[in-house]
Amino acid sequence: MGGPLRRPRGHRRRGPLARPAPVRLLGPDRLGPHAARHGRTLRPDEPLAEPVLRSVTGRTGWRLVSYDDPPHRFHAVAVRR
């Protein structure tokens, strides 16, 4: 088989693939009950806590646009800046 496909020099993406897709973080339940099942309490410095996730995504060139932690799921969405 041949090597990886490469775009010609100077070629730019166009159309729907021009922007990177958002990153979605999903979970079957909210973070607090999940931590409790593992014998822990949810701390404010948890990696998926909203302030921490917002800070981490901001430092790495992403922007957290949605954060939802209702009883039945966990859902966060970040987009490239």
Q: What is the pLDDT of residues 10-53, one digit of tens each?
A: 556 555 556 678 888 887 778 888 788 889 888 889 888 899 99
pLDDT at site 62: 92
Residue 9 placed within a domain? no
Domain, as residue range, for 50: 21-80
Give the global pTM. Answer: 0.66
Which is nearest to 65 in space by CA: 76, 81, 55, 53?
Answer: 76
What is the total count of domains within the chain? Answer: 1
Residue 61 placed within a domain? yes
List all residues 6 or more positions away from 39 whose beta carbon is below 8 Å from its beta carbon: none
Contact (Cβ atoms closer than 8 angstroms) between residue 59 and residue 12 = no
pLDDT at site 72: 81
